Amino acid sequence: MKKILITRRLLRENEDKASKIFKAELNLNDELYSQSKLLELSKDCDGILTSLTDKMDEQTINKLPETIKIISNFAVGFGNIDIEAAKKKGIAVTNTPDVLTDATAEIGVLLILGACRRASEGIENAKASNWKWSADYLIGKQLTGARLGILGMGRIGQKIAKISKSLGMIIHYHNRSKLSKEKEEGAIYHDNLKDLLSVSDVLSVCCPASKETVNMINKDTIEYLPKGAVVTNVARGDIVDDDALIDALDRRKIYAVGLDVYKNEPNLNPGYLKHKSAFILPHLGSSTKETRTAMANLAIDNMDEFFKTGNCKNKVN
């Protein structure tokens, strides 16, 4: 029986499944392991089931025991893992695509609605019982007829586009390649970032985190947006330069932001706290029981498939 380390607490049914297939070292206290403790616990293990909170950089991977043959990431993204370092050491890396598309897209649409319709301010006022209706009270931006720019038209971007189109938004997108007409469903393709941003009344960041996308939304690119645009991010915090986005809010270049992810989670840049128009969630993208269960099952199945066949359909390196 293969031995694996599971670095974070999973739902009970997932831990039971893993324990039936493997000799599973569980993290029952859901402790955030330091690099040194992770290395210590991985001794004699054949694989590691990681989460996004585990920073598997080159230094950590190079120090992993030679017995480790797979890192199965409990996420669709894998920006927390140095893919090349793992490949050089002969360690397979897998992810959990498809199963979290719907849940994450739902949060993506919530960010658009929350930012455009001033939900944070409304919630504060309702709780304080200090609001009074008037014709101009908390006037927000209507989605119907607004142009939605989607940066990264993968599975999640396409689902956000479909829902937003049903709300009357006009869909534009930028992707590494143009989609088929069937997948576009009437969305308008832009082959460069500047053109997309220039027509985005609302921007939804959905692209994967990579070396190429770090700080893609920055001081310079923000200027391409129409004045009063709304910026939302359901992808990864590294894609957006927080300081630049806060500066744009300060200057009223940006009307509002909706963020489910941001740099240095869970430590929010205090600059956002100055703005009532900042609608911010604590990384809830995949946070439904159905999705988290499916993600963990897939991460476990990825390891099982790899150990049985030497390969895995969700291998990313």
Q: Report yes or no: 54 and 24 within 8 Å, Cβ to Cβ.
A: no
Of the residues 155, 184, 265, 275, only one is catalytic, namely 265
- Of 147, 172, 190, 236, the catalytic one is 236
- Let me know: does 189 contact 151? Beta carbons within 8 Å: no
265 is catalytic: yes
Q: Of residues 283, 290, 292, 305, which has the active-site annotation?
A: 283
Query: Catalytic residue numbers?
Result: 236, 265, 283
